[in-house]
Chain A
Amino acid sequence: MSKRQLAMVMDLNKCIGCQTCTVACKTQWTNRNGREYMYWNNVETYPGEGYPKKWMELGGGFDAAGDLQDGIIPNIEADYGVPWDYNYESLASQNLLGKDADKDGYSVLGASTPGFHPTSQPTWGPNWDEDEGAGNFPSDNYFFYLPRICNHCTNPGCLSACPRDAIFKRDEDGVVLVDLDRCQGYRYCIAGCPYKKIYFNPKISKSEKCILCFPRVEVGLPPACAQQCVGRIRFVGFLDDEESQVYKLVKKHKVALPLRSDYGTQPNIYYIPPTESPAKFDENGKIIEGSTRVPMEELEALFGKEVHEVVKTLKAEQAKRKETGESEILDLLIAYHHSEMFRLDNNYYQEVAKAKGQNPLAPIDTRYIKGKNTKVLFGGGHH
């Protein structure tokens, strides 16, 4: 366990699925160098297959006794989906469809006279099932958006699975990082992570993951996904900082819950469960008073038994607000001032860097930098 823990709270009632967080993360970190297929931040539709496909069924995490469980490593093409592009040069020659267009009139990959077509035939991708959800339209269909980043767990499955001690949890803020110098690309971390939020980079043959934008956080800026969130759903702060809104939501008011905490990794990304959904319609199209579309069993599966209490609290606060005009919880969730959602401490990181004699903080695991077994660890060429 780290000395301090940085955490994020995401308010699912306010997520509109606009993917601005996804794009912010992508342009900041994953649009290059073998990371193109990765989404360190993704927003999936729940219920749905998720990203990667059926991630909740791929194992990893811990059982009740605390033993790491075997897991399955997803395939880039079949389970994540490769980002594809098009042969734009065909447009220059006005050869849009080619000769062997399929029945829908689309050009086919590998056709004898190829027209405008994707460079690889996509079979799956993130948000392949976006907005599908479950239930019957219009009577009781439902879905909500579930934004996911690495949970920077207190008991990380990825770290426990690594046979090289290449994954470490920073003492100063609990951010879980891969030491790329030690990583050998064995990928047991992917099997061990129940959220499948650590990815294999085939270009460098190493694992990479969300770094909670630590270079931004160290200078007092929130992670890119949180800063860019137009719905103001993301709160960032230290769990032990009583002034932070994260502390107030998670510890003081206890209205934010971790996702699938039954995996035993003690995740540090918390969610305000979706309490708001329209009422169902009966067969005549009439509103069924008091009904709600998102089944509580689904929420319980995602957020645990505590979700009942949380939903009750939130509903009570709404009522209180209506009656009295006052509610600290709702004031927090409304997020009047974006800047107040983040409480990061540049000075704190500067102190840590000073104490370590590193400025900026180096993203390496200090267990192996003493050079006990190797004369030179960094710098110098290799064979």
Chain B
Amino acid sequence: MKTLKTLLAASFVATTAMANSSISAVKVDDGVDLSKVKADDKIWSKAKSANIVLYPQTTIKMNDKNANEMNAQNMAKEAKVLAIYNKNDVAFKIKWKDETQNATDINSSSNEYADGFAVQLPTNFSDPQKLPYIGMGSEGRPVLVHLQKAVRTHYEPNGNQTVALQVNRDNTNAFEEDLAAFDKNVSDAAISDYQRAYIAEGFRSMTQIRDNDSAFAMDMSYNKEGWSAIMSKKLKDGYLDLSASGAFPVALAVWDGAKFGRDGLKNLSTWVAVDFEDKKGDEALVAELTQKPEGDAVAGKALADTMCASCHSYGDKVAAMPTMAPNLSNIGGYSTHAYLVESIKEPSAVVVPGYNRNAHKNTAWYTLGEKGERVSTMPPMMSDEKQIADTVAYLLTLKAEVK
């Protein structure tokens, strides 16, 4: 991945000037059922497009050797995001470039993967300074994740008493019409629209919501440039109520099946504010998520190199063991200002679970406290506000360039 090689103050100004914009959600007719909206519907002509940058996930490294080689030079991607809402629903349209359409089905091999996208929402965002950790939330700060993968056919494992349909067709003892009927029954049992809702409190804790209490709809369509995707959901459901807010945070992720993308092999955005155009009470969140750092990034780099680099790797700083601590190479791309400040001051406020604790025993990212709570192995590093501001200003420049 490309990181900043020149450390001139001017280049920091240039990158930080591209601070995230908000997504302005446009009000549409209450009579429209937004769960039925498709990517090419006219309704989107009213919406305002925002460019949201999605950065390669580099906080942890996955253990798939071939995939790691394929993804070593990943750059950031830009997605065009539109949002509309009415009194019942909110809907997003997300467009991103992808040179190849990768969909999987029951004939896919063990090393074929589907393209996909996900929309992540915090279940609580009353304090914009304390949003959930961007990677699947964090303990006490859960997120809702809506995921769609380009899957043509998929079968749930024996959940629907369809055992008779699991038999290989060659073993059915059926011929002609009987075999055709068997094939049809099997194909009817398939799921061809793979969309899921999950709730999570950090890596690995993601659990599927099966109670129908998260009402949402997703859709993906491909043309030769890339994907257009839709995600719509009720403003209020059993997990999240957006109806009373003037704005809410959203984060996006996309997967590229051609590069063996799945799970952590993805590009993701930071928290982005979605601002309802006719609702009040949006100022604090929008201000927090669009603020530009005030610190001195050049001074911050010197601080980071002495205080962070012995455990964290980033850019060309690879002094530490790679599994020692979260890799910061794209931390500026997918972190909020407030998260970075909080993590420096109070590392245990949000503890990134990181690797399975069995996978890298000598470089645990946390220990367990008396009540089983995670205590970060990172001590609070700085208390001087100026130093923190400078360091955060530098960390926010750490991100891959846009392709």
Where the two chains meet, the residues of A that have a C-beta atom closer than 8 Å to any C-beta of B are 31-34, 36, 59-60, 65-77, 80, 85, 155, 159-165, 180-182, 184-188, 190-192, 199-200, 202-206, 368, 373-383
Q: Assess the A203–B362 pair: CB atoms within 8 A.
A: no
The answer to whether A70 and B68 touch (CB under 8 A), given A165-B205, A374-B210, is: yes
Nearest opposing residue in chain B for A119, CB measure: B170
* Min CB gap A243→B, angstroms: 32
Say yes or no for B208: interface residue by CB 8 A criterion. yes
On chain B, the residues within 8 Å of A73 by CB distance are 64, 66, 110-111
Nearest opposing residue in chain A for B194, CB measure: A205
Q: Assess the A188–B263 pair: CB atoms within 8 A.
A: yes
* Min CB gap B166→A, angstroms: 4
On chain A, the residues within 8 Å of B66 by CB distance are 72-73
The answer to whether A68 and B207 touch (CB under 8 A), given A191-B63, A199-B110, A204-B156, is: no
On chain B, the residues within 8 Å of A69 by CB distance are 63
Q: Assess the B200–A205 pair: CB atoms within 8 A.
A: no
Cα distance A66–B196 in the bound complex, in angstroms: 35
Q: CB within 8 A of B155: which of A34, A70, A161, A374?
A: A34
Q: Assess the B155–A204 pair: CB atoms within 8 A.
A: yes
Q: Assess the A377–B210 pair: CB atoms within 8 A.
A: yes
Cα distance A34–B110 in the bound complex, in angstroms: 11
Nearest opposing residue in chain A for B201, CB measure: A373
1/0 per residue, CB under 8 A from A, across B187-214: the answer is: 0000000011101110111111111111
Say yes or no for B369: interface residue by CB 8 A criterion. no
* Min CB gap B151→A, angstroms: 7
The secondary-structure label for the interface of chain A is loop
1/0 per residue, CB under 8 A from A, across B88-117: the answer is: 000000000000000011111111000000
Where the two chains meet, the residues of B that have a C-beta atom closer than 8 Å to any C-beta of A are 62-66, 68, 104-111, 142, 151, 154-158, 166-168, 170-171, 195-197, 199-201, 203-217, 238, 262-264, 323, 355-356, 358-362
Q: List 29 A-B contacts (CB under 8 A).
A: A31-B168, A32-B166, A33-B167, A60-B63, A66-B362, A67-B360, A67-B362, A69-B63, A70-B68, A71-B65, A73-B64, A159-B358, A162-B356, A163-B264, A165-B204, A165-B205, A188-B62, A188-B64, A202-B109, A373-B142, A374-B208, A375-B238, A380-B210, A380-B212, A381-B212, A382-B208, A382-B212, A383-B195, A383-B212
Residue with the greatest number of chain A CB neighbours at <10 A, chosen from B108, B109, B263: B109
Q: Assess the A160–B210 pair: CB atoms within 8 A.
A: no
Q: CB within 8 A of A181: which of B111, B205, B208, B213?
A: B208
Q: Assess the B109–A33 pair: CB atoms within 8 A.
A: no
On chain A, the residues within 8 Å of B107 by CB distance are 202
Residue with the greatest number of chain A CB neighbours at <10 A, chosen from B62, B201, B211: B211
Q: Assess the A164–B212 pair: CB atoms within 8 A.
A: no
Q: Assess the A160–B65 pair: CB atoms within 8 A.
A: no
Q: Assess the B210–A70 pair: CB atoms within 8 A.
A: no
Q: CB within 8 A of A70: which of B63, B204, B215, B263?
A: B63
On chain A, the residues within 8 Å of B109 by CB distance are 75-77, 202
Q: Assess the B204–A85 pair: CB atoms within 8 A.
A: no
The answer to whether A160 and B358 touch (CB under 8 A), given A182-B207, A191-B64, A202-B109, is: yes
Cα distance A144–B278 in the bound complex, in angstroms: 77
* Min CB gap B135→A, angstroms: 11
9 shortest interchain CB distances as A-B pairs: A33-B166, A376-B211, A68-B359, A70-B65, A160-B359, A200-B110, A160-B358, A373-B199, A186-B263
On chain A, the residues within 8 Å of B155 by CB distance are 33-34, 203-204
On chain B, the residues within 8 Å of A76 by CB distance are 109-110
Q: Assess the A66–B361 pair: CB atoms within 8 A.
A: yes
Cα distance A8–B195 in the bound complex, in angstroms: 41
* Min CB gap A318→B, angstroms: 41
